[in-house]
A and B are shown apart, each in its own frame.
Chain A
Amino acid sequence: MSKWSVVALLASVVGLTNPMPLAAHHGGAAFDAGKKVILKGTVKEWLYSNPHCLLKLEVKGADGKIVEWIAEAQAPNVIFPAGYRRDSFKYGDEVTITVEPVKENQPMGRILDATLANGTKLGRASSAGAITEP
């Protein structure tokens, strides 16, 4: 294997380990740091607003009951570069999101990633773990 082959393979690894985090806005004291919950549900409402966007999602539990979750994302201008748009979530869409839940026993959290109804995958939309200041 030539040296350029090695360089190219190393570059592949660098590409995999080079995530670009989003910005932060509100603090993390309300959230259960590090915990993740995957939610599959039906979009009820997507508020593209400040200081945070809010996604209302109806999720069917193991007992068959519908629970309405509310998940926050950062402000529109912050999540725009990650691909989140005004019409990313439409009423009735079946979507999957990963959230970091709140500490309170409430169906609430902040969006870590999302798979939209058309299969598009979007990354971090909250400040969870995104800020590593120098």
Chain B
Amino acid sequence: MRKFICGLAVGLFIAAWALAHIGAQSPRSTAGGWITPDYNVRPITDATRKPAPRRAVAGTWIPFGRYGVATQAGGVSSRPNNGRPENALPYTPYGLELYKSHKALEGADAVRPAEGNDPRNLCEPLGMPRANHYNLNVTQFFQDDYKVAILYQYDYRWRVIWTDGRVLPKVIDGGVQIGDEVREQRFFGYSVGRWVDDTTLEAVTVGTMPEDRVWLDATGRPISDQVRTTERFRRLDNDTMEWSETLDDPKVYSKPWETMKLTMRLHDPRTDIMEYYCSPVEQANYNKFFANPASGK
């Protein structure tokens, strides 16, 4: 009888698991050696934990947790834009004015698709720090003796964090100053990193685009060209890395605040990454067939 009950229970579990996951998560495909991401990786345990390598962040990383955990469609992960008091941001008067001028398709003040003014829907580059907050999924890190390159899945964009000891540029009006030269503002800014210890890389980014070109997140929160973005990549063990970010933007926010603290899991370096892009042609097609009529236009 005991064996029968155990067998029945195991059978029920398998059936229940299969039912719950049909359509939610298919097993990853390895067809022809084209390995797709595995979103069902098991948590690291004491038995499977390997020590973190020294001063190394290279690898193919995916946010750990349920699928889509770092999409951040509802706003930056540490403080989503959901109207809750604890997630209210410390806007300056100018920052609040900027936020109200943004018509976002997500968040507490979302508008209908054809009414938005998100620069993303014009296929503008997201830049830093928004690249960290827009459908963050499979992310590749490459590293050599002088730099770390981060390759984002969305729009196949990449950025470089210099780790060779160079000086962080000074932010000036409309650009940055490097030595006696003035350089242009950039969507991904100028990033310099240093190893805080053997497992923690801290990167600071400045010199990004002005507030009429970029947003912080999909809910229309603003960011200015005065922002100083500090990221920490802390290797917890061989397979896990914590990726956190703090903003200091006195033009828009009255005090620094943490935007995200994600746990990333190392994946098979052979993982093939699907394209995820912004095409003006396809966007126009979508607007014509769906966004405009769905907005009553």
Interface residues of A (CB under 8 A from B): 1-2, 4-5, 8-9, 11-13, 15-30, 47, 49-52, 54, 70, 72, 75-78, 80-83, 102, 104, 106, 108, 113-114, 121-124, 127, 130-131, 133-134
Provide the B272-289 mask, 1 if CB < 8 A to any CB of A, else 0: 001111110011011001
Complex contact B19–A75 (CB within 8 A): no
Give chain B interface residues in 70-115, CB to chain A under 8 Å.
71-75, 77, 80, 82, 104-107, 110-113
C-alpha spacing A78/B121, complex, angstroms: 17
**B112 vs chain A, min Cβ distance (A):** 5
Chain A residues whose C-beta falls within 8 Å of the C-beta of B12 in the assembled complex: 8-9, 12
The list of the 9 closest CB pairs from A to B, nearest first, reads A123-B23, A23-B68, A8-B9, A24-B73, A27-B105, A15-B16, A133-B80, A15-B17, A77-B274
Query: Given A27-B106, A75-B276, A81-B26, are A8 and B6 also a contact pair (CB < 8 Å)?
Result: yes
**A31 vs chain B, min Cβ distance (A):** 8
Chain A residues whose C-beta falls within 8 Å of the C-beta of B47 in the assembled complex: none
Complex contact B2–A24 (CB within 8 A): no
Complex contact A127–B73 (CB within 8 A): yes
Chain A residues whose C-beta falls within 8 Å of the C-beta of B295 in the assembled complex: 30, 104
Chain A residues whose C-beta falls within 8 Å of the C-beta of B77 in the assembled complex: 133-134
Complex contact B68–A130 (CB within 8 A): yes
Interface residues of B (CB under 8 A from A): 2, 5-6, 9-10, 12-13, 15-17, 19-26, 28, 36-37, 39, 66-68, 71-75, 77, 80, 82, 104-107, 110-113, 116, 121, 135, 137, 153, 218, 274-279, 282-283, 285-286, 289-291, 293-296
C-alpha spacing A82/B295, complex, angstroms: 28
Which residue of A47, A81, A108 has the most chain B CB atoms within 10 A of its CB atom? A81
Chain A residues whose C-beta falls within 8 Å of the C-beta of B135 in the assembled complex: 23, 25, 78
Query: Given A20-B66, A52-B290, are A27 and B153 also a contact pair (CB < 8 Å)?
Result: no
Which residue of A13, A78, A133 has the most chain B CB atoms within 10 A of its CB atom? A133
A131 contact from B73, B116, B274, B285, Cβ within 8 A: B73
**A8 vs chain B, min Cβ distance (A):** 3
Apart from A51-B278, A124-B23: 4 A-B pairs, beta carbons within 8 A: A12-B12, A76-B274, A80-B36, A102-B294
**A95 vs chain B, min Cβ distance (A):** 14
B67 contact from A18, A23, A29, Cβ within 8 A: A23
Query: Given A12-B9, A29-B111, A106-B294, are A20 and B106 also a contact pair (CB < 8 Å)?
Result: no
Complex contact B286–A54 (CB within 8 A): yes
Complex contact B73–A25 (CB within 8 A): yes
Chain B residues whose C-beta falls within 8 Å of the C-beta of A17 in the assembled complex: 20
Chain B residues whose C-beta falls within 8 Å of the C-beta of A11 in the assembled complex: 9, 13
Complex contact A5–B294 (CB within 8 A): no
Complex contact A82–B282 (CB within 8 A): no
Complex contact B6–A5 (CB within 8 A): yes
Chain B residues whose C-beta falls within 8 Å of the C-beta of A122 in the assembled complex: 23
Chain A residues whose C-beta falls within 8 Å of the C-beta of B285 in the assembled complex: 47, 49
B20 contact from A15, A22, A50, A134, Cβ within 8 A: A15
A sample of 26 cross-chain residue pairs with beta-carbon separation below 8 angstroms, ordered by A number, consists of A4-B6, A8-B9, A15-B17, A16-B16, A16-B20, A19-B20, A19-B24, A21-B66, A24-B68, A26-B291, A27-B113, A27-B116, A27-B218, A28-B110, A47-B285, A49-B279, A49-B286, A50-B286, A77-B137, A77-B274, A77-B276, A81-B37, A83-B23, A106-B293, A122-B23, A133-B80
C-alpha spacing A38/B288, complex, angstroms: 24
**A51 vs chain B, min Cβ distance (A):** 6
B10 contact from A8, A20, A78, Cβ within 8 A: A8
**A118 vs chain B, min Cβ distance (A):** 14
C-alpha spacing A29/B17, complex, angstroms: 33
